[in-house]
Amino acid sequence: MKQMKKEIKRRFLEGIKFIIVVGLLLISLSCAGFFNWAKTLRKTNDTPTTIVAKTSTKKIDVANSIASEMQNRKEALQKKLSYREDGKEKIFYDVSYGGDEDSTNPEDILGTLEVPKVGINMPIFDGIGSTASSPNGDYNRLFNAVTVRAYQELGVSNFVIASHTYNVMGSVSHSKDWFTPLLTDESGVVTDKISDLKLKKGDEIFITENSTGWKYTFRVSKISFGEKGNSENIVYKDVNYDNLSAHIGEPMITLQGCSGENDLLFVRGTLEKIEDPQSGETYKP
């Protein structure tokens, strides 16, 4: 009898141990499964969050917006150009004057022109004037820096700006006024020799545009003289054609002044970059 009781007790304890072992095993498997599920769930939940964050946060690319504006300007200018019977583009000397005569109207100011090497810093007015002889027409308006056409487009073509120069060779009078500094040597004396000019190829020209706040940097690429004549002289027009035509798709600037009684000075600069000071972004053509 005692032997039977011991056997029953032994089997009972073994059953309890078996139940405990199986229970612990089940608990262990359940915990492992839970943690694996939680880990997978975390990865699953993290993945969409990361993708959404990358795709929903859109940063405005200022460089692209400048490029888009340049394309719009290029297309606008192409529609405004007109051509002569010989197929060449009509330049300033082929068309009537354009722009508002009132050179003191701040709404006409397109921006600021700077040529640090020679100390030029002056506002740019839109259009050279509507007539040659009115009180605020051509002659008086050219005491400012003015565009030779009212519809020029900056940054996509040849942007021509003109102003008076005091072109008495060997003089220092008005050597700091208008575009006269473009004609001076290192000592500030007016000269008709390109090799003696203080301004050299590679020097910087800046335009700050009022409508956008953008700063345009140009590098002087060519300095030349052209013939001054009358608007009926086709040869004269053709001699200056390269300096005064639009050159769409070739962003540049041309500064025009008189270099003598019968000559013109042309300073060409090639566009290097456009900067947006507010964002710090830079666009290069």
N- to C-terminal Cα separation, the chain: 107
pLDDT digits (tens, 9 = 90+) for 48-57: 322 222 322 3
The torsion defined by the Cα of 257, 254, 115 and 136, in degrees rounded to 10, comes to 50
Residue closest to 224 by CA, chosen among 285, 183, 277:
183
Question: Both 146 and 177 in a single domain?
Answer: yes
Q: What is the mean pLDDT of the chain?
A: 73
**Whether pLDDT at 32 is above 50:** no
CATH number (domain holding residue 203): 2.40.260.10
158 and 274 in one domain?
A: yes
Q: What is the model's pTM? A: 0.69
Same domain as 149, residue 100: yes
Q: Are residues 42 and 72 in the same domain?
A: no
- Residue 25: pLDDT above 80? no
Count of domains forming the chain: 2
pLDDT at 19: 64
Maximum average pLDDT range among 12-21, 150-159, 160-169, 254-263: 150-159
pLDDT digits over 57-84, tens only? 333 344 558 988 999 999 988 888 888 7
Mean pLDDT, to the nearest integer, of 7-27? 58
281 vs 261: CA distance, rounded Å: 45
Is the pLDDT score of 236 beyond 90? no
Q: Are strands 145-147 and 204-209 parallel, antiparallel or unpaired?
A: unpaired
Top pLDDT among 165 and 217 is at 217
Question: 53 with 169, same domain?
Answer: no
- Beta carbons within 8 Å of 60's beta carbon, 6+ residues apart: none
Structure confidence at residue 282 (pLDDT): 87
Domain boundary among 22, 41, 58: 58
Task: Output the 3-class SS for 156-223.
Answer: CCEEEEECCCCCCCCCCCCCCCCCHHHHEECCCCECCCHHHECCCCCCEEEEEECCCCCEEEEEEEEE
What integer pLDDT is reported at residue 116 of this predicted model? 97
Please tell me whether residues 33 and 116 are part of one structural domain. no
| 228 and 112 in a common domain | yes
What is the span of the domain harbouring residue 39? 1-58
pLDDT(216) > 60: yes
Tens-place pLDDT, residues 102-143? 445 556 788 999 999 999 999 998 877 655 555 555 666 777
Confidence check: pLDDT of 96 > 80: no
